[in-house]
Structure formats: C-alpha cells, structure tokens
C-alpha cells in the first residue's frame, strides 16, 4: 500500500511469515528540503503480527501517519 501523507511518501507492507502471521512494516521517504538536500528514508522494524494481511497493512498505515505527525511536530519546536 503506497500513499502520500503531507510531504512524506509511505509504503506499507505485510510480510507473511512461516508462522502464518502477517507482520506490519512501513517505509517512509522524506523529500529533500532546505535542511536536508537528499531524500531520507526511514524503515520501521516489524511493528506487530496479525492474522490477516489487511490488519497488518492497517497497522503499518496508522503507525506511519503517527510517525509523520510526530516528526513534523518536532520540526516546529
């Protein structure tokens, strides 16, 4: 699941493991700006395990949005 949120590009995935569970993961790319002249990429670790791929993707999406909001709030301080 790829989408843009504010200035970030987000790619959420669900890794299917041998144990039958789906593990949520998010990759967040921040475009260059005045402070950083290159793209920065942040990867989450496995966030949590779920019985369905949809639940894992939803978790990754929620986590990524919260992470982006916290990053933007930190830049404004």
Which domains does the chain possess? 2-76 (3.30.160)
What SS3 state is found at 35?
coil
Q: How many helices (H) and strands (E) does the chain have?
A: 1, 5
pLDDT at 75: 67
pTM of the entire predicted model: 0.85
Mean pLDDT of the chain: 91
**Residue 31, pLDDT score:** 82
Element (H, E) at 8: strand 8-16
pLDDT digits (tens, 9 = 90+) for 20-53: 999 999 999 988 877 778 888 999 999 999 999 9
Quote the percentage of the chain above a pLDDT of 90.
Answer: 73
């Amino acid at each position: 699941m790829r989408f843009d949120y504010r200035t970030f590009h987000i790619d959420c995935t669900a890794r299917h493991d041998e144990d039958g569970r789906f593990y949520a993961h998010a990759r967040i790319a921040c475009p260059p700006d005045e402070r950083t002249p290159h793209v920065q990429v942040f990867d989450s670790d496995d966030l949590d395990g779920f019985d369905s791929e949809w639940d894992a993707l939803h978790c990754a999406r929620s986590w990524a949005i919260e992470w982006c909001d916290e990053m933007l709030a930190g830049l404004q301080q």
